[in-house]
Amino acid sequence: MEKIFESEYRFLSILWENEPIASPRLVELCDEKLGWKKSTTYTVIKKLSEKGIVKNENTIVTSLVTKEEVDRQESEELLQRSSKGNVPAFLAAFLKDRKLSREDVERIKEIISEAGDEE
């Protein structure tokens, strides 16, 4: 999947919440939530269609990727950029000086346990 920029992600967030959606209604929502002009919204639809991320068929816009797929890609890029793929180093840097609730700690432990090698 090609890189998704911040403005495209904000657009996709609106789309994911409302899809499938008629492009005129999507234009209205992008105006309300992002302050975009009609031409800006249609330009983003066109660019994301060319990237294979959205489909605009008969004025109905739908996504071809899920929020989870995009978030996973963004997380992987951040991990590679900040810690060269070293998960423990990334977590140490990310969690430094953060206060976590007991529930957060337990959930993180569960996630790590699920991700670990099963022997």
pTM: 0.78
pLDDT at site 119: 53
What CA–CA distance (Å, rounded) separates 21 from 18? Answer: 6
Residue 102 lies in a domain: no
**Mean pLDDT throughout 68-77?**
92
Instruction: Report if residue 74 sits inside a domain.
Output: no
Domain count, the chain: 1
Q: What's the domain range around 28?
A: 6-67
Residue 117 lies in a domain: no
Helices (H) and strands (E) in the chain, counts: 6, 3
Residue at 104 is within a domain: no
Question: Are 69 and 1 contacting, i.e. CB atoms less than 8 angstroms apart?
Answer: yes
- Tokens standing for residue 8: 């495209």
The CATH number of residue 20's host domain is 1.10.10.10
Asked, for residue 93, whether it belongs to a domain, the answer is no
Structure confidence at residue 82 (pLDDT): 86
The CA-atom distances, in angstroms, between 92 and each of 79, 83, 105, 115 are 12, 10, 14, 17
At residue 54, the pLDDT reads: 97
Residue 62 covered by a domain: yes
pLDDT tens-digit profile of 1-59?
788 999 999 999 999 999 999 999 999 999 999 999 999 999 999 999 999 999 999 99
